[in-house]
């Protein structure tokens, strides 16, 4: 039986970013320390996770209406979202 003192530390919490579009991009927001920009699609789900940095993009409440690329291009540009 494992002792509580030898248990592995809990993994860090995922960063959750609220967005207004089901199509988002992520570049790790680290400048040279980030990762290549990738485009992510939620499809029918209300969230999507980046395969590089595990950042989770969640569709904000009230964003369920049809999307317009002209009004909400869905580009993630920093910790404040878009």
pLDDT at position 49 is: 95
74 domain-assigned:
no
pLDDT at residue number 55: 92
User: Is 5 within a domain?
Assistant: no
- For the chain, what is the domain count? 1
The residue segments making up the domain with residue 34 are 13-59
What CATH number is attached to the domain comprising 32? 2.60.260.40
Residues of the chain scoring pLDDT < 70: 1-5, 7, 10-13, 63-82
Is 32 part of any domain?
A: yes
Check residue 53 and give left, alpha or beta (phi > 0: left; psi -120 to 50: alpha).
Answer: alpha
- Domain membership of residue 66 (yes or no) is no
Asked if residue 40 belongs to a domain, the reply is yes
pLDDT at 61: 85
Tell me the per-residue pLDDT of 18-34, one tens digit each, with 9 for 90 and over. 998 889 999 988 778 88
Q: Do the beta carbons of residue 17 and residue 81 sit within 8 Å?
A: yes
């Amino acid at each position: 039986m494992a002792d509580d003192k030898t248990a592995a530390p809990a993994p860090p919490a995922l960063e959750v970013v609220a967005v207004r579009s089901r199509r988002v991009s992520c570049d790790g927001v680290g400048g040279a320390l980030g990762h290549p920009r990738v485009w992510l699609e939620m499809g029918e789900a209300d969230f999507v996770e980046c395969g590089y940095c595990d950042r989770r993009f969640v569709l904000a409440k009230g964003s369920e209406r049809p999307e317009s690329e002209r009004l909400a291009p869905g580009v993630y540009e920093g910790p404040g979202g878009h």
